[in-house]
Amino acid sequence: QTLLARYTRALLLAGLDQGEVALREIDEVSSIESRVLGKAHPQLMLTKMLRARVLDDLGRSEEALAEIDELTTASKASLGKRR
C-alpha cells in the first residue's frame, strides 16, 4: 500500500467518526514518512495536521495544540532554510 493511499484511508476514517482507528493509521504513516521522506517533508506535515485534527475531534485538544505548535516550529525552520 502506498503512503498516499494509507493517508487517504485515515482521512476517510476520521470523516466516518472512527477517530481512534484513523489515529493509529496516521501514526503508522507518519512514522514511515519521517523515516523515508524526512522530518521536514511537506507530506509529513500534512499528515501531522490531520493528526492534530483527529486529536481535537477526539476531545484531546491539548495534544492537538501541542502537535500544531510542533508543526509551526518545523514549518518556520523549513521555510527559513529556503530563504
pLDDT given for residue 39 in this prediction: 86
pLDDT given for residue 83 in this prediction: 52
pLDDT tens-digit profile of 49-77? 999 999 999 999 999 999 999 999 887 77
Does the pLDDT value for residue 14 go beyond 60?
yes
pTM, full prediction: 0.88
Is the sign of the CA dihedral 74, 72, 29, 82 positive or negative?
negative
The answer to whether residues 28 and 47 touch, using CB atoms and an 8 Å cutoff, is no
End-to-end CA distance of the chain: 35
pLDDT given for residue 81 in this prediction: 62
Q: 77, exposed or middle or buried, with CB in 10 Å at 0-12, 13-18, 19+?
A: exposed
